[in-house]
């Protein structure tokens, strides 16, 4: 694992050097430092209204109010200021699948990858296998995710011990690029996850 980490860090530095040399060229093209173009960030539904990143000023204002994000299996993204409101939405999603068979504990539940499009190093978490800290290797590295189509979904947190901003992925939700989701104005969820909660 340590050797892989060393190689990965080496590759990252090379990519960083490349990105830096190309950043001037991309500056004309709305590319932000994480390598995600503005257009790729998904719209947020906030207090019943959808906000597109193309409406930059309004979108930034909404992004500054959103602390907790809920991603439905159909890909729609909802933003909430308060965790309690996000939790109500999550409860509704999970209640809707009450009659379905839930995977047994220990079954595959969600997979996380270091790079976009489900590539690079990866790991799985199972039901109730919470991670108050993902560890030094994975801290602020997760870039893509798939959740099992049944179960309780998974919540990623910005900080240790399930604190800070959060983003919940419903059962069946996938994201080939966490850069699609806004964490705060001009910052996406790419390379931000520090703790992971998988409700039993
Ligand atoms: Ca990454
Ligand atoms: Ca973090």
Looking at residue 31, the DSSP 8-state letter turns out to be: B
What is the phi/psi pair of residue 141, to 5°?
-125, -20
SS3 of 159, please? strand
Could you list which residues have their CB under 5 Å from ion ligand 1? Answer: 114, 141, 143, 191
Alpha-carbon distances, residue 148 vs 27, 99, 104, 112, 198 (angstroms) = 38, 16, 12, 12, 11
Give the pLDDT confidence score for residue 70 in this predicted structure: 98
CA of 170 to the centre of ligand 2 (A): 21
Q: Which residues, 6+ apart, have CB-to-CB distance to 163 below 8 Å?
A: 157, 195
- At a CB cut-off of 8 Å and minimum separation 6, what does 70 contact? 77, 78, 79, 80, 86, 89, 90, 93, 167, 168, 170
Q: What is the pLDDT of residue 104?
A: 53
Pairing assessment for the beta strands 119-126 and 174-175 based on DSSP bridges: unpaired
Q: What protein residues have CB closer than 5 angstroms to ion ligand 2?
A: 140, 158, 192, 194
Residues 34-89 pLDDT 10s: 555 555 899 999 999 999 999 999 999 999 999 999 999 999 999 999 999 999 99
Average pLDDT of the chain to the nearest whole number: 82
pLDDT for 40: 86
Alpha-carbon Rg of the chain, whole angstroms? 17
Contact, 75 vs 173, CB < 8 A?
Answer: yes
For 76-122, how does the pLDDT look when each residue is reduced to its tens digit (9 = 90+)?
999 999 999 999 999 999 888 765 555 555 466 889 999 999 999 99
Q: How confident is the model at residue 139 (pLDDT cuts 50, 70, 90)?
A: very high
Residue 190 CA to ligand 1 center (angstroms) comes to 7
User: How many angstroms does the Cα of residue 114 sit away from the middle of ligand 1?
Assistant: 4
Per-residue pLDDT at 111: 92
User: What separation in Å is there between the alpha carbon of 193 and the centre of ligand 2?
Assistant: 5
Q: Is the pLDDT of residue 20 over 80?
A: no
Higher pLDDT, 138 or 38: 138
Angstrom distance (rounded) from CA 42 to CA 145:
16
Separation of CA 171 from chain center: 14
* Nearest ligand to residue 162 Cα: 2
- pLDDT at residue 18 is higher than 60: no
Report the pLDDT averaged over residues 147-176: 92
pLDDT at 15 over 90: no
The yes or no reply on domain 38-197 and CATH 2.60.20.10 is yes
- Say if CB 109 and CB 172 are below 8 A apart: no
> Which bound ligand lies closest to the C-alpha atom of 139?
2
What is the rounded distance in angstroms from the CA atom of residue 36 to the CA atom of residue 159?
A: 22
How confident is the model at residue 103, as a pLDDT?
A: 52
Ligand number with the minimum distance to the CA of 120: 1
The dihedral built from the CA positions of residue 49, 145, 124 and 134, taken in this order, carries a sign that is: negative
């Amino acid at each position: 694992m340590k050797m892989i980490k060393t190689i990965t860090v080496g590759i990252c530095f090379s990519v960083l050097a490349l990105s830096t040399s190309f950043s001037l060229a991309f500056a004309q093209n709305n590319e932000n430092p994480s390598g995600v173009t503005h257009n790729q960030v998904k719209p947020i539904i906030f207090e019943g209204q959808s906000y597109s990143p193309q409406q930059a000023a309004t979108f930034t204002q909404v992004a500054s109010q959103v602390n907790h994000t809920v991603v439905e299996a159909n890909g729609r993204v909802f933003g909430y200021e308060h965790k309690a409101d996000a939790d109500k939405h999550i409860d509704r999603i999970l209640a809707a699948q009450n009659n379905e068979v839930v995977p047994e504990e220990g079954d595959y539940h969600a997979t996380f990858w270091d790079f976009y499009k489900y590539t690079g190093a990866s790991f799985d978490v199972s039901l109730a296998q919470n991670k108050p800290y993902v560890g030094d290797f994975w801290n602020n590295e997760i870039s893509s995710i798939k959740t099992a189509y049944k179960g309780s979904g998974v919540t990623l947190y910005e900080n240790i011990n399930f604190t800070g901003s959060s983003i919940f992925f419903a059962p069946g939700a996938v994201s080939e690029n966490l850069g699609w989701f806004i964490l705060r104005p001009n910052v996406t969820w790419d390379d931000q996850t520090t703790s992971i909660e998988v409700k039993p």
